[in-house]
Amino acid sequence: MTTGKIRWGILGPGSIAKSFAGGVAGSRTGELVALGARNPAKPGLAETFPGARILDGYEALLADPNVDAVYISIPHPGHAEWAIKAAEAGKHVLCEKPLALTAFEADAMMHAARKAGTFLGEAFMYRLHPQTLQLVELIRSGAIGEVRMIKSSFGFAMPGFMPEHRLYANDLAGGGILDVGGYPVSMARLLAGAAIGQPFAEPDKVVGAAHLGQSGVDEWASALLHFPGGIVAEVSCSISLDQDNVLRIFGTKGRIEVPDFWFAGGNRDVGPGRIEVIRSVAAHEVIGLDETRHLYSFEVDAAGEAILAGRQEFAWPGMSWADSLGTLRVLDRWRAAVSLEYEIEKPAKRVTTLSGRPLRTDGKAIAKRAIPGLPKPVSLLALGFEDFRSFSSGSILLDAYFEAGGNLFDTGFVYGAGYTETLLGQWLANRGVREKSVIIAKGAHSPLCYPDVIAKQLAQSLDRLRTDHVDIYFMHRDNPDVPVGEFVDAMDAEAKAGRIRGLFGGSNWTMERMDEAIAYAEKNGRQKPGALSNNFSLAEMLEPIWAGCVTSSTDAWKAWLAARQMPNFAWSSQGRGFFTERAGRDRTDNEELVRVWYSEKNFARRDRAIELARKLGKSPIHVALAYVLAQPFPSVPLIGPRTLDELEDSLKALDIKLTPEDVAWLDEGPERRRA
C-alpha cells in the first residue's frame, strides 16, 4: 500500500493539467513529480509544471518507479487506453471526465483496476468541493420541501467553428454531451438521490435532442431525465451557445439556485461557494462557504485519502464506480437518442483492442475440443452477445473472449433485428480472424418456420456476417405441421452448396422430431442432423421461458444425448440466475425464476451446488456450469456475459473437473454422495 505523500504524474500537458498541478501544490496528500508529454521539448513545460520531471512520452511516465498515481488529462478517446495501461503498470489513476466514451469502456477500465488492485476515479472535481455536500444536506433537510424538478446547464460559445479544435473534432469525440454534459447529468442524479436518501438515483426515462454540426458533433443539446418518484431534470449543454449556467432545484416550498456549480461560483483556481435558497420574494437566503483553497485540491486530497486507505474508489460524495457508470449510461442514452456515434467508434477506425494493442490470437484460458463433423476445434464455451448495439461496445467483450481462447460465436437471424450478426461480421473482418473462428447461425424462427425461409434468411445472415459460410446452423424453432423431411432437405441443400460447412440441426426441437429427421436423412442419402441446441442445465426447466422452447435436462433426454453422442449447444446453461443470490426459497420477486425453475427438486440441486462450491472455494454458478461441461456427451454451454467481470467469472468454472460420480450426486442427491 502506498504510504506518505502520493507522488503524482500527469499524463498529457494542457490547460486542465495545469489546473490540476495547482491543486496538487495546494493539497495535503500529494506532490507532483513527473509529466509525461509526447513533445517533451515544447517550450514552457518546466515553468508550467514546476518541480516535475519532463518525461518523453506516456509509456515513460507509466514505467517510472517514482510515480504512484497518474492523472490522465488527454482528450476523451485516450482515457480508456491509458487508464488500462496505467492499472496494468500498477499505477493509481485519476482520469478527467468523461471517464470514457461509453459506460462499456468505463466498465473495462474498472475491470483492469479491480484486477490490479489500484484506485480509479473520475475527476468531477465539483463533487469533492464542500459546496456539493452543503447542497445535499439542504435537500435532505427539506429546506425547499420535496424536490420536484431540477434544471441545469453547462454551455459556452466558442469563437466560431474551429475544425482543428478538440471540441469540434469528431476523431477527438468533440461536442458538448461528453465534454460538459456530464456535469448537469451527474448533479441531477446526485440531487435526485439525495431527495430519496440515496447516494444517487438513476433515471427510468431519458429523452434527448441535439444539433449536430458540420463535423458531426453536438454543438448544443438538451435532455429530459425522469426519475422514479416523479422528479424531472432538464439538462443542457453547448459549445457554440452561451447559456446562463445556473443550477436550479425546485421544491414544494421553494427553490435553490447555484451559479456555475462546477467551479463553485469561481474559476479554476478558487471556488468560494455560493448557494441561494429562495422560499418567497421576501425569504431569500444566501449561503456563502468562503472557501479559499485551490479548487482542484479537494479532489487531489480525496483521491489521495482513498489511495492511502487502500480503497479503489472515491468515498461519497466523490464519484464511485457505480456513480460514474450511471452517468455514462445516461450520456450513452442521450447520444443514442440524437444518433451521435463518433467515427472513431466505428469499425474502420477501431482496429485495435481498447488498450490500444493488436488482438492476441494465442489465448489458452478457454481450452478447445474436437467435435465430430466440425473441421476445426471449438472452445469449451460459446459466446452469445445479443445485448450490444454498437461496434465499440461489443468489440470489448468479443476481444476479451477471443484473447482468452474462445472461438465459438452464437448468433441468430432474429437477435437484435439482425444487429448481432452485423456486429460479429464487422468484428471478424476488422480483426481478421474469420478463419480462426466458428460461427453458429440460427434461422427459421416462428412464425416464419418454413423450409423455403431457411435459404432466404441464411443468405441475409451471410451478408451481415461478411462471410460465405457458417460452421454450424440450427433451425431456431420447429414447425410440426411441416413434414420433417422438407426441413432436412432444405438444410442439406445449403450444406451441399457450401453455405453450411459443418453441422446442422435443430434448436428447441423435440427428441421425436430429431429421431424422425435423422431417420429421414439416413434413408434418403441426406446429411444427418448432427447437433442440437436445447436448454440444458443442472436446474430442469419446468415450463418454457419463451414460447416454443425445449429443455433437454430430463433423464430421458440425457440418456438419448449420451446414446447418440449428440452435441448439444446448451442455452441458459446456468439457469438464468437460479444459482445466484437472485433465487431462493424465500425470494419470489422474480416472476421468471419462480415460474421456470422453482421446484423442490431444483432447490435440492441448488443446495448441493452450494455445498460443493464451498468445498471448492467457488460459487454455485461455477459448479452449475461445470456440470454442463462434464456430461457424457459433447456438451457446449452458451454463455452471455455483459461485462468483462462476468466473462472472467464464467471462466472460473473451467477450473472444476467433475467426475461422473460428482455429476450424478449433483443431479440425484444423497444416494450418490460425493466422496
Question: What is 126-293+313-345's CATH number, 3.30.360.10, 3.60.20.10, 2.40.50.100, 1.20.120.850?
Answer: 3.30.360.10
What mean pLDDT do residues 591-603 have?
Answer: 95
| pLDDT given for residue 2 in this prediction | 62
Q: Annotated active-site positions, please?
A: 97
Q: Are strands 378-379 and 382-384 parallel, antiparallel or unpaired?
A: unpaired
527-564 pLDDT, tens digit per residue, is 999 999 999 999 999 999 998 999 999 999 999 999 99
User: What letters, b where the CB count within 10 A reaches 16 and e where it falls short, cover 280-299?
Assistant: eeeeeeebebebebbbbbbb
Closest CA to 295 of 550, 26, 69: 26
| pLDDT given for residue 500 in this prediction | 98
What CATH number should be reported for the domain whose range is 6-122?
Answer: 3.40.50.720
Domain range list for the chain: 6-122, 126-293+313-345, 377-590+619-668
Assess whether pLDDT exceeds 80 at residue 481.
yes
Assess whether pLDDT exceeds 60 at residue 1.
no
Q: Which CATH superfamily is domain 377-590+619-668 in?
A: NADP-dependent oxidoreductase domain (3.20.20.100)
| pLDDT given for residue 672 in this prediction | 58
243-281 pLDDT, tens digit per residue, is 999 999 999 999 999 999 999 999 999 999 999 999 987
What mean pLDDT do residues 365-380 have?
Answer: 96
CA–CA distance, 321 with 107 (Å, rounded to integer): 8
77-128 pLDDT, tens digit per residue, is 999 999 999 999 999 999 999 999 999 999 999 999 999 999 999 999 999 9
| pLDDT given for residue 673 in this prediction | 54
Question: Who's near 144: CB < 8 A, 6+ residues apart?
Answer: 138, 249, 250, 251, 252, 253, 254, 255, 256, 277, 279
| pLDDT given for residue 364 in this prediction | 94
Q: Are 453 and 426 in contact (CB under 8 A)?
A: no
| pLDDT given for residue 283 in this prediction | 83
Q: Are 155 and 242 in contact (CB under 8 A)?
A: yes
Assess whether pLDDT exceeds 80 at residue 671.
no
| pLDDT given for residue 674 in this prediction | 47
Q: What percent of the chain has pLDDT over 70?
A: 99
Q: Where are the beta strands (DSSP E) in 12-114?
A: 30-37, 53-56, 69-72, 92-96
Q: Which residues make beta-bridge pairs with 54?
A: 35
Q: Please state the three-class secondary structure of 560-627 as a single string.
A: HHHHHCCCEEEECCCHHHCCCCCCECCECCCHHHHHHHCCHHHHHHHHHHHHHHHHHCCCHHHHHHHH
How far, in Å, are 182, 456, 556 from residue 448 at the CA level? 44, 11, 30
pLDDT band at 4 (very low <50, low <70, confident <90, very high): confident
Q: Are 567 and 602 in contact (CB under 8 A)?
A: no
AA letter at 84? I
Which grid cell sits at 308? 492511502
Which grid cell sits at 358? 493488436
Q: Are 265 and 259 in contact (CB under 8 A)?
A: yes
Q: Which residues make beta-bridge pairs with 225?
A: 206, 233
DSSP 8-state assignment for residue 179? I
Assess whether pLDDT exceeds 70 at residue 644.
yes
Which grid cell sits at 395? 468489440
**Considering the chain, what is the average pLDDT of its residues?**
96
Which grid cell sits at 522? 439416413
| pLDDT given for residue 3 in this prediction | 66
Q: Are strands 568-570 and 6-11 parallel, antiparallel or unpaired?
A: unpaired
| pLDDT given for residue 282 in this prediction | 75
Three-class secondary structure of residue 208 per DSSP: strand
Closest CA to 634 of 377, 402, 363: 377
